[in-house]
Structure 1
Amino acid sequence: MREKEVEQKLVKAVKLAGGFCIKFTSPGFDGVPDRVVLLPKGRMAFIELKASGKKPRALQIRRMKQLSALGFLCYVVDNTDVIGGVIDEIQSS
């Protein structure tokens, strides 16, 4: 499955959960995750999207580790089957 298809399904699922799935770009700070997920009750996470079977680059992994060290949830989503579980995990954090 292409990254764009995974992204579209994530956006729909987050919207159904009552949240926002904001595209995230940060000029001058490469490697940040593709999307910021904002859910009710102040729940938030960063999501790196990939096509099925693709892996994040080394810089993307490093950025997610940095964000995790600050206390933020970070996920890599490369197929639509895990989207529901990721949203559940964010909601229960």
Structure 2
Amino acid sequence: MAEERQIEIALQRQAKKRGGRAVKFTSPGLDGVPDRLVLMPGGRCAFVELKAPGKKLRPLQEKRRTQLEALGFPVYCIDRTEMIGGVLDEIQST
């Protein structure tokens, strides 16, 4: 869990450095939603689920990912700090 928290902190910092925010996302009554909503300049946004290294999405999280993507929202799963820059690049370029 500590490793996941480190990734979460790194995501928040890197998004802020780029002029954006990675805000905690909770949805009472709807389990399995991604951990963070990443908001970037220019109206760019995406959902991000954070996992400890090597961990995968649970079945309910996969279902929520599919539902959000069907609505047109990008959803990412990050399990290593090295992934953050690439994900933020993608969010900013969409």
Q: Normalising TM by the smaller chain, what interval?
A: over 0.9
Note if 1:21 corresponds to 2:22.
yes
Give 3-state SS (helix, strand or coil) of 1:26's partner.
coil
Q: CA deviation at 1:55?
A: 0.7
Give 3-state SS (helix, strand or coil) of 2:52's partner.
coil
Residue 77 of structure 2 corresponds to which residue in structure 1?
A: 76
Residue 38 of structure 1 corresponds to which residue in structure 2?
A: 39
| TM-score where L is the length of structure 2 | 0.97
Residue 6 of structure 1 corresponds to which residue in structure 2?
A: 7
Counterpart amino acid of residue 70 in structure 1? L
Q: CA deviation at 1:20?
A: 1.0
- Partners of 1:46 and 1:16 in 2: how far apart? 18
Deviations along 1:23-73, whole A, 9 cap, x unmatched? 001110000000000000000000000000011100001101100000001
Percent identity between the aligned chains?
58
Question: What residue ranges of structure 1 are gaps of 5+ in the alignment?
Answer: none
Give 3-state SS (helix, strand or coil) of 1:2's partner.
helix
The alignment yields a C-alpha RMSD, in angstroms, of 0.8
Q: CA deviation at 1:80?
A: 0.4
- Partners of 1:17 and 1:37 in 2: how far apart? 11
Question: What residue ranges of structure 2 are gaps of 5+ in the alignment?
Answer: none
- Once superposed, which parts of structure 1, at least 4 consecutive aligned residues long, lie more than 4 Å away? none
